[in-house]
Structure 1
């Protein structure tokens, strides 16, 4: 078999540093805490870790507002700590990907501090500045995802600046060639420190329409939202001028050329656009832009075999030689077992969802805690830290419910910290802690580990093509084929057992994955939220 790049078919474990492990007793997770838990992460059978932002930041958006791309925020540790993390991860066979936020900075970044002072300084064109309309209002109707206008007035320049997120996150001006060159340098700084790849936050936001044309309105029946609250006016527009501009493709080619100068580097772009599946394909097509992309298409409330099938099939039809990456959870959306299971959320659902995700064609991002089947946490307004949730409370409670600390043991704060943590460890999570689940052979954690170890030996699941087959409306079924191997994967999305009639009776039961099912001739019986794997 031809050697595959390490990232093809990889399982990438997302670490949210604030919430993995607090090593210094301040209530917030940190880089030494991640180092302390690398043995655990390696035991999960994953291939890489994606570490969410740890850069110097005022933390208005919890690190996604960077004030220095080349330094670690003291809250998380030091540059020596990230160097140690990379070294220790590599010693355990784990690759390290870091989160880079290229489209915007913090308003505390030295570049913005200089840019806002005048219209003629060296950094004056590094951010998106615009004169007001005749009546003093913003230059167009663009909206910020986190609420309100995407424009903020700066009296020192007598102009507005663009911010697609918080007003403390001004957008860089990628129409300025010096900005592009500088951001490539910021990326290379980390390449030289030995990282193996980058998760690129909001990568389709880098360029804006140079003419600043207003976005058209979106019909009421299409305001469904992807990755943001449906109560948010952001969903009232078609976002065709404020992001996803054609110039972005040329910048991605420059970025890819930089990556290709280093060995086995991977780039994973986060996409949120009017047609995210098409943008995913555009941004990864041709082997000269991003290696992989992912979007919010499986991070929604939609949970049905037909929706998964339609979403994956649509992307497959557009990808050409591109390679997909899928995720069903991350730090921006409600925990998947609650989002998809509701009152039915439980261990069986968690086990099936993890196995289903790991069986799709492509690479996978698995968010910390999904291996424990953690549900979403319900917090009070007083407990919220997320400005997004505070703004849209109570209809939308923000992202804190999926960001609470990992429960490691039975102690007061779940073994996460010796003091009150930045977000609470609730009793429902403590009951599902790592120490308890390790001892329980039927736990979600042990099921996760069994499946990932089994998957390592299944080249069809890691590298193969995918072909969907309609066998039962409650069952997601598809073939994975690679180098003469063909595996039929079936996943019961129902809380009731169901019988599936297979095309023929020549299938052989594969074992070692941890799922129990019954095959008699061409009749397959799946338990509630069950899964099966057959050699065809």
Structure 2
């Protein structure tokens, strides 16, 4: 099972590398940088959507699941990407956005025409209330109600996201089969797995019951802004329905026909850790799940411990995947760095990759983490994200984490493209470009590479159990054990030196692993002295 303990490197194609110099990254651009990706020591690439799309949500609104958008290339380019990645020992995973399509998809164009066509029941349609208002109180994540009136049918359709992203009706077995057929199209082309976007949104409550209100002090949902009206409800009925578990089993049964392939589900529910456990239960559902629980502003050892322990208590034989950055949230170097007055601190960036890669599970690492990139400040006139445009200035959207990857510090647009890029490259990113870090042995990039290779030598880190140690803030400490090998792992999450006694760690002596670049702690008088953002690994057996 290659995916257990794997590091999966997320590529956001629009912003990775522009091979045809039109200002937008593309699949040939990923191919051109495969040697760079291999140098990172990662196991797989997760490629964000590149399918045909009107790009209202930058590819997460798909109009054709079986074709490449011309912005990114063509099918032959994708076939080349798979072949050349496999030649380098790198797996390819792709996004599948199953719960909704674009409103330009042929299925929806037919479905909206009337109530009797062959696709009439392929989307979630509902009559208006007697007063003409929507059928219930469900809200869209991207702002406003989750229902839009379609005059052709004289009905409302459901969209949990943008109005241009109508939700499919998974209560219809034809929809489920068509979705599985689309997944198999890519399996036959040789993909090694799928990241399943918003996978718990596939089914809705067939009775269309109202979501209950949520008290203001409880509007702390993970994954979206608490000022968004979406946070005003408990989302018991518009997602995470019991029927979806059967569909997860259908997906797993299909993947089992293609040995070695894997499904990773993105989950955001009222209790995401509980849902992760359910969706990865046994050998009949998803292989892995990940949530937004470590994509928050909460950078405390106690919080990280609570999240992981909570999942461990529920997950039994399931397998988690952890991430601290992706294309939807503020970059971790800023999000967590700001809490310690250390935004852009290279030592912090090194420690964060070590920390997330030392938890029990696999890892999703977002492009730019290996450079320690900070969040970009995007002017309103440069915004592209509809989410940010709607909620500006209280919420500035997701463009700040999606700016082009900086390759060369002395070139226009940091070597991403000779054309004006779809988002500007911030000045701060030029100084952390790949070419600047390549020749610095102590750079974030070279530390990332070193740690990726180093951790593969420890089965306890890749596959082992995890047991947390009760330590005071800001020390995070745990043991990883596998086949008689036990490691003690400690992190100082603060910007100041911390001292903790060996007694507090529950050990009488430590054998520090000193061949790891991040280990900067020392032992004095039975105390472990940890400089700012130190990472410590020690053998216990």
Asked if Structure 1 and Structure 2 have the same fold, meaning a TM-score greater than 0.5 normalized by the shorter chain, the answer is yes
Residue 267 of structure 2 is matched in structure 1 by: 271
**Is the partner of 2:62 in helix, strand or coil?**
coil
Q: What's 1:288 paired with?
A: 284
Q: Please name the residue that 2:398 is paired with.
A: 399
* Number of the residue aligned with 2:425: 425
| Alignment partners' CA distance in 2, 1:204 and 1:473 | 34
Over residues 180-217 of structure 1, what are the superposed CA-to-partner deviations in whole Å (9 max), with x where a residue is unaligned?
01000000000000000000000000000000000000
Task: Give the distance between the partners of 1:507 and 1:327, measured in 2 at CA.
Answer: 29
2:513 aligns with 510
Counterpart of 1:347 in structure 2 is 346
Offset at residue 473 of structure 1 (A): 1.9
Residue 524 of structure 1 and its aligned partner are, at CA, apart by 1.0
1:276-355 to 2 correspondence within 5 Å? 276-342=272-338, 343-345=341-343, 346-355=345-354
CA contact (8 A) 1:486 1:535 kept: yes
Output the CA distance in 1 between the equivalents of 2:511 and 2:44.
Answer: 32
Q: TM-score, normalised by structure 1?
A: 0.99
How much does 1:521 deviate?
5.6
Which residue of the partner structure matches residue 179 of structure 1? 175
Q: 2:495 — aligned with what?
A: 495
Provide the C-alpha distance between the structure 2 equivalents of 1:364 and 1:512, rounded to a whole number of angstroms.
Answer: 23
Q: What are structure 2's unaligned runs of at least 5 residues?
A: none
C-alpha separation in 2, matches of 1:408 and 1:265: 32
1:512 deviation in Å? 2.7
CA contact (8 A) 1:504 1:522 kept: no
State the shift of 1:520 in Å. Answer: 3.5
* Residues 1:360 and 2:367 aligned together: no
1:193 to 176, 189, 193: 189
Q: Is the 8 A contact 1:471 1:501 kept in 2?
A: no
Q: Distance in 2 between matches of 1:226 and 1:382?
A: 28
For 1:421-478, what per-residue CA distance to the aligned partner results, in whole angstroms no more than 9, with x for missing partners?
Answer: 0001111001100000011111111111111110010110000000000233211000
Contact conserved, 2:377 with 2:426, CA < 8 A, in 1?
A: no
Distance in 2, Cα, partners of 1:443 & 1:81: 33
Alignment correspondent of 2:26: 30
**3-state SS, counterpart of residue 413 of structure 1:** helix
Query: Counterpart of 1:525?
Result: 529
1:247 alignment partner in structure 2: 243
Q: Return structure 1 stretches of 4+ with deviation > 6 angstroms.
A: none
- Of residues 465-474 and 347-356 in structure 1, the stretch that sits farther from structure 2 once superposed is 465-474
Whole-Å separation in 2 of the counterparts to 1:399 and 1:193: 31
> What is the CA deviation profile of residues 400-421 of structure 1, one whole-angstrom value per residue up to 9, with x for unaligned ones?
0000000001212101001110
Do the aligned residues in 1 keep the contact of 2:141 with 2:160 (CA within 8 Å)? Answer: yes
Quote the Cα distance in structure 2 between the aligned partners of 1:475 and 1:233.
36
Alignment partner, residue 468 of structure 1 = 468
In the alignment, the residues of structure 2 paired with residue 451 and residue 292 of structure 1 have an alpha-carbon distance, to the nearest angstrom, of 23
Distance 2:300 2:82 in 1: 39
- Cα separation, 2, equivalents of 1:383 and 1:489: 43
Residue 509 (structure 1) shift: 1.2
Task: Please give the secondary structure, in 2, of the residue aligned with 1:228.
Answer: coil
Q: Report 1:82-161 matches (<5 A).
A: 82-161=78-157
C-alpha contact 1:132 1:159 (8 A) present in aligned 2? yes
Q: Aligned residue for 2:227?
A: 231
After TM superposition, the score normalised by the length of structure 2 is: 0.98
| Residues 221, 270 of structure 2: 8 Å contact kept | no
Q: Is the Cα–Cα contact under 8 Å of residues 17 and 34 in structure 1 kept in the other structure?
A: yes
Q: Which runs of 5+ in 1 are unaligned?
A: none
Is the contact made by 2:123 and 2:169 (CA closer than 8 Å) also made in structure 1?
yes
Distance in 2, Cα, partners of 1:337 & 1:132: 47
